[in-house]
Each structure stands twice: as structure tokens, then as C-alpha cells.
A and B are shown apart, each in its own frame.
Chain A
Amino acid sequence: MSPLPVGLLCGALIVGAVALSNPFAIAGCALASTMLLWSAPPPRRAYVWFAAWSAVLVFVVNPFAGVQGLTPVWTGPKLPVIDTQVTQEELVFGLAAGLRLFGSALAVAAFVRLADGDRVLAAVARVAPRSAMIAALASRLLPILERDAAGLVLGARARAAQLDQRRHAAALAGPLLGLSLERSMALAEAMEARGYGAGPRTVTPRPPLARTERLLLAVAIVATATVAVAIPLDHYRYYDLLGDPFTTVGLLTAAVMTACGCAAAVLVRHGARRS
């Protein structure tokens, strides 16, 4: 899909997840990101796992890292550096922080899976050709390396290796690095053979946005406007005592962002079926 509507929507979701403070509004952004990624082509599971584990980690660590909140839930033995008093406020803030991370990570993943990489690179190449080359190498190499990693695992298993053992899995990192160097050399050579770096580049004119993309752009504008309006109005506080999350701004923002996520997912799926 065109990077414009996808980028605008994902950007709104990331900004909303990071800058809004009401837990329902953050949850709305995270839910919308999840819906959007769900509509993207596979692979998706790795992104969800990474985002979920990061979120859980933040949620678990936060109460022991902060010394805030007036409603203790549990108090442990005194330890240096670690705060062993867990408060209700710290738990809710940790949950919100985890959701922020989860929502932002999935929005980035949705952008990677949905936006046309070639158009993104063309846009980057206009302002930073060198960075575009590195990005091109990375974006082309990542899926190939994914297959190489699977090939190395297969090669090891074909020789009776039990790869659930951590040391065996770690032993594959070196060979994979070696392969990645060989691959990147081959790709860089192919790029040079096709005249990359010969002089100023031109860019192929891109076709106008399709109907689905225009509708997605409209959804992205609604999401962006909602976030822009909600940020200055959202005054939710976690400390010293939790505020009331059932505010009009929080609930409305959550509802609009969730609706945008659902609408975007339907449009993306519809667009994919048509193409």
C-alpha cells in the first residue's frame, strides 16, 4: 500500500500511545494497532511476541523501579537499589507503560508489513541516498537471512543437533553472520552493476492513490485529528493517587481510535482481496 495513509495512521497510533495518558485511550491505540497488524500479510507472530514480551517486562519491572504512589499493595524486604514496596499506582502505570510499548511496537510492525517498501526507499533516497542504500540492503537481506537462519537450523538438525539447547542455537549466530556478509557483498555488487551511484537519480512517477488507499487516508486523518485534539485535553494522573479514568476525553478517544483500527483493518483486507 502507499506509505502515505499507512504512515499517517501508524504515526497517529504511535503518538497516541506515547503521548496520551488516560489508560483507556492508550488501550484504544494499542487495540487499533493490533487490528491493523492483524490485517497485514504474514509473518506477524514474531512481531506480536516481541511486543507482548517487552510489554510484560515493562509491567513487571516498573513497580520495583519507581518509588511513587500512596496505595501500597505489597511490601517486601528492604533491598539496595530495588524498591520493594509495590503500590497500586505503580501497577497501573506499569500496565499503561506496557500498553504504550505494545501499541507502538505493533504500529511500527504494521507499517513495515503494509507500506510499500520500494516507495518508502524512493522517498528516503530523495533526501539521503546513502541511508537509502543501507535501508535497501537491510530490507532485502532481512527476509533472505531469515531463510538462511532456517537453513542453518535445518543443516544442524540434519546432523542430529538438538537445537532446543541454548548453546547450539548460539553456535548458529557466527555462521549466520558469515552468510550475511556474503549476501550483502553479492547484493552490493548487484546494485553497483545496475548503476547505483552513477549520478543523480530520478524516481518513477507513482500512480495516484487507489480508492481503498483514499479511504484509509480519511481514517488516518480522523485518527490524527483525534489524537491532536485529545492530547491537550487529557489530564489523567497516575501519581500520587490514581485519577478517575472514566473521563469523556479518555472514553471518546478510546472509542474513536478503536473504530479507526477496525475500519483500517477492514479496508486493508478488502484492498488485499481486490488486488
Chain B
Amino acid sequence: MNAALQLERVRYAYPEAPRPALDGVSLEVEEGELVLVLGESGCGKSTLLRAALGLVPHFHGGRLEGRVVTAGLDTRTHRPAAIAARAGLVFQDPEAQLVMRRADHEVAFGLENLGCPPGELLTRTEEALAAVGSAHLSERQTGTLSGGEQQRIAIASVLAMGQRLLLLDEPTSQLDPVAAEELLALVTRINRDRGITVVLAEHRTGRVFAEADRVVVMEAGRIAHQGTPAEAASHLAGSAPWLLPPVTQAFAAAHRTQLPLTVRDARRLAGAGPPPTPAAAPTGRTPAIRVRDLHHRFAEVDALRGATATLASGTVTALVGANGAGKTTLAQVATRLLEPDRGTVEATGLSGYVSQNPAHHTLRESVADEVAYALRNLGVPAGERAQRVERELERFGLGELARRHPRDLSSGERQRLAIASVTVMRPAAVILDEPTRGMDGLRKLALAEMLRGLAAGGCAVGVITHDIDFAAEAAQLVTTMARGRVLADGAPVEVLAHGTFFTCQVGLALGCTTIAEAAGRLGPDPERVRV
């Protein structure tokens, strides 16, 4: 077998970075392999993929030591534009990577850059669109496509160029569960049917972990482990279980020796345990926000069509649904950032909204000033303001970063800052819009803890999320939406454990919603207990 990608003792630091992003990485990917790269945010996964295409160091600058050979081209002597003929990279943000306005022009863009003969351009474009099941999107404007459709177009653009190595950098981080599942199935199919080598960095490991030929675990710029999925599961169970699929995490938490990688295996291994005790939905809590029969229309789209919902004090409520279901509109109307066309909004106090892009909460020059911004707008006196800012910074672990510029923070720190900049107002209710985008498992657990802490303080916490496993872990109530209406609400086990797509992995396998519940139900190995 030939190597599709070779990294030899690669060490790389971004310009002015205090520590290297890649620190002595050696990796060889064979042709036709599907390699899954795992690791916490900031461990070097994205840098590894950029190094494979030569964007590091040619585009980003910095100093690269060692050697990267991609499809036979040494990145030290070949620029990314030349390597692009043999390897393609799909980025995390679907919107940021689309260059052209129309889908078919977007797919043809790379071919045109490589000087593909005009006679072949149309055929290859149409073939690539058909290969990713998007031929019907050919004439659509890229700006009007959903995130999942945009990622499919990005993959089609790579396939059209005839590249044999596909690099994907968290391609599902902004997609709803259905779109994410479809995309990962497509990637697996491309690898299996067409023999295209795939290197995939991904946090949502539930569906793809068992499909990988090899799992590479990265830690602080180094490769901490690499092996088959089963070997990686055994390795991670003791060191970083949050990187594993939720069902595997449940078995690891129950100290089982056999770790399933899929829902099917989990069901088989679980056997007939005691039926789960469903956690009842909290009752008797005061509604902090109550909305009734909300209607709202944007241009030609009915975003809300009679939505009725309640956000209770002291409770974390997850709002789930497909892209375009109306979740964000509902949150913005409920927090009075948008006026509904029809319907009523009742709130017991101040309501806060944390946007899905933390950069939209970055208006000031320092972290402390950012948190103080809302208080200044509310006219809080300087003395009290300083005390409240200090307390909020400590609460969110940002105390030491108070003087830093918000843009210099990591993505996780930016997310915490965005939340702190709203909760400092002490709202009766706060709604967070997609706070887990691009977050690794450990940070999600910390966020879930943080949200439960907020709720314990009496705040009504709403969280809009595509991440069903996170919703199951964090929320005490779950509301599902579709086409501008609320479909169901109740305890997570009622809503999430028995669905088809909007359901968590441990729910599918074991009928529970959280990993702790599942571990409690499983218990240790039956053989071990008998001994």
C-alpha cells in the first residue's frame, strides 16, 4: 500500500504562539483508509489537517520542522494551490468556505482553478453533485442552502477535482442530528465505495467511531494513541472517556470490560437489565417566561406558526429541532429581541439571550469591560458594577483573563465570556443558542455543569442545541420544535429516549438519557459480580 499522507516528526507553531500546535507528530495514512482524529479542542487536530494541505505554514506563516508529504508532494516545496489537485479540505464552517454564489459554479470553481478542459467541466460538476446526492441543488444560490446542504456542496467540490485524499475538519459541528448523520454516512460511503482516503477530525463520534479503520488520539499537539477503534476505546476509557461515543462512555463508566462501539453492540452486551427508572419532569416551578400562540414571519418564511411554550425557573430546558424549525426565532421573541407578529410573551423579569456566535458578544477591548457592558447599559453604579463583574468573572473561570482582549481568547473561553456577559445582568431567564458548536466532550460536560449551577440559583435556563446527547445530559426538560410549532415537551427520557433521529445514543441502546443513569443500570460485568 502507498501512503496517502505522511508526517515525519512534524513540529509547528503559529506565529507568536507560546507553544507549538504540533509537537513531534509522526503519522502515516495508507490509501483507502478512513482515519478518525480525536482530541480536545486546541489539541492540534485542525492544524494537522492544515499541515496536510500545506496551508501550514504557507498560508498561516510560522515555522514548520519535519516533513509532510501529501499524495507524493512535499509541502515544503509545494504550495497549497498545487497540493489542492491531490487533496481537498472541508472546513468546519460551511458558510465561510463557499466562494461562488451558485452551487454548480461552486463545484466548478476548483476545477476551473486547476485548468480543467472546458469540455469536461460540466460533466465533472454534475457527476460530483450527483455523487453527494445534491444534483437537485445545482442551480440554487449557496447562501440559501442549509448548513448540511452547504457541507455537501463543499464535499462535491473536492470530489469533482478528482482528489484521492479528503480531509474533513469537524464537518458536522454546525449541523442538526439528521444532517450530521447523513453527512457522516456520505463520507463513509465515499471511502468504502470509491476508495478515497479520508482523514476526519470530529467531536460527534457516535456514528463514525466504529466505521473508522484507525483512530488517532491527539493531546497537546502530540499523538497520544493510535490503533483500531476497539483499541482506542480501551485506551480512552481510562484516560479521556468523553471522547468516546456515548454508549461506550456508559459502559466505561459502569467499569465493564467489554466496550461496545455501536448502539447495536451496546444492546447485545447490556442484556436484560432492570428497566430504567424514568426521571420525572420537574413540576411546580414558576414560569419565568410564558409564550402563547406566537407567529412570526421573515420575508417569505413563516418562522413561527402558533408556538406555545414555558421556561420554568430553576430548570434547564433544552429546545431541539431541525435547522429552520424556528428555535432561534422563538428564543429571540421570548427574550423580547424580536416583536412577534401575533401572540403574547409574559416574563417575570429581565430575560437574556446568548447568540450562537460568541463573536457577536465581543464589542469591547477587554474581558472585564465586555462583562461590564450590560451593567453600564442598565445604569448600575460603578462600585456595584466592579463587584458584580469580578464575581461573574470568577464564576466562569475568567478571573485571570480580565485584562485580555476578547478576540485573543480560545473558543471555549469566548463562549464562557459570552454567557458571563449576559448572566451578569442577573436575568430571571437566559436562553443560550447552540452553545456547544465546536466544543469537545469535556467542555460540554463543564458547560452542562455550569448551566445546572445557573438553574440551581433560580434562573430559568433555556438551551437551543443540535447535540441531543448534550441535551440529555444537561436538561431537566426537553421541548422539540418543527416548522414553527412546539411538538412535544417533557422529561428528557420521555422526549429523547424513544425518538428516531432526535434521540440520544444511550436512549436508543438502554432507554436512559444520561451516561450516569445508563452506567447505574448496567452495573459491572455480570461475570465479575459472580466471581
A201 touches B115 (CB 8 A): yes
Known A-B contacts A118-B101, A159-B374; A198 and B337 likewise in contact (beta carbons under 8 Å): no
Chain A residues within 8 Å of B58, by CB:
192
A205 touches B118 (CB 8 A): yes
Q: With both chains docked as a complex, state the minimum distance between the C-beta of B40 and any C-beta of chain A, in angstroms.
A: 22
CA distance A48 to B267 in the complex (A): 63
B101 touches A195 (CB 8 A): no
A136: Cβ under 8 A from any B Cβ? yes
B128-168 contacts to A, CB under 8 A, are 139, 143, 157, 161
B37-69 contacts to A, CB under 8 A, are 53, 55, 58-59
CA distance A260 to B160 in the complex (A): 42
Known A-B contacts A116-B102, A154-B360, A198-B81; A190 and B91 likewise in contact (beta carbons under 8 Å): yes
B355 touches A154 (CB 8 A): yes
Contact-residue bracket for chain B: 35 or more
CA distance A189 to B97 in the complex (A): 8
CA distance A87 to B189 in the complex (A): 77
CA distance A144 to B53 in the complex (A): 26
Residue of chain A at shortest CB distance from B106:
A118
Known A-B contacts A116-B102, A178-B407; A203 and B112 likewise in contact (beta carbons under 8 Å): yes
B422 touches A158 (CB 8 A): yes
Known A-B contacts A161-B377, A193-B80, A198-B82; A183 and B360 likewise in contact (beta carbons under 8 Å): no
Chain A residues within 8 Å of B80, by CB:
192-193
Q: With both chains docked as a complex, state the minimum distance between the C-beta of B381 and any C-beta of chain A, in angstroms.
A: 15
Known A-B contacts A154-B337, A160-B378, A202-B116; A192 and B105 likewise in contact (beta carbons under 8 Å): no
Q: With both chains docked as a complex, state the minimum distance between the C-beta of B463 and any C-beta of chain A, in angstroms.
A: 15
From A118, A140, A188, contact of B102 by CB (8 A): A118
Chain A residues within 8 Å of B96, by CB:
144, 183, 186-187, 190
Chain A residues within 8 Å of B488, by CB:
none
B121 touches A205 (CB 8 A): yes
Residue of chain A at shortest CB distance from B371:
A159
Known A-B contacts A159-B373, A195-B161, A198-B84; A151 and B112 likewise in contact (beta carbons under 8 Å): no
CA distance A243 to B327 in the complex (A): 63
B373 touches A201 (CB 8 A): no
Chain A residues within 8 Å of B125, by CB:
204
CA distance A54 to B139 in the complex (A): 36
From A117, A160, A183, A192, contact of B81 by CB (8 A): A192
Residue of chain B at shortest CB distance from A197:
B81
Residue interface bits A176-210, CB-to-B below 8 A is 1, else 0: 00110011001111111111111111111100000
CA distance A201 to B111 in the complex (A): 8
A72: Cβ under 8 A from any B Cβ? no
Instruction: List 22 A–B pairs whose Cβ atoms lie within 8 Å, in order of A's numbering.
Output: A121-B100, A122-B112, A136-B99, A151-B359, A152-B363, A154-B353, A158-B335, A158-B337, A160-B374, A161-B374, A171-B363, A175-B359, A175-B363, A187-B99, A189-B55, A193-B55, A194-B84, A195-B85, A195-B113, A201-B112, A205-B118, A205-B119
* Known contacts A158-B352, A204-B112, then 13 further A-B pairs from the complex at CB < 8 Å, ordered by chain A residue: A116-B102, A121-B100, A151-B355, A161-B374, A186-B97, A193-B80, A195-B114, A198-B114, A201-B113, A202-B115, A204-B111, A204-B125, A205-B122
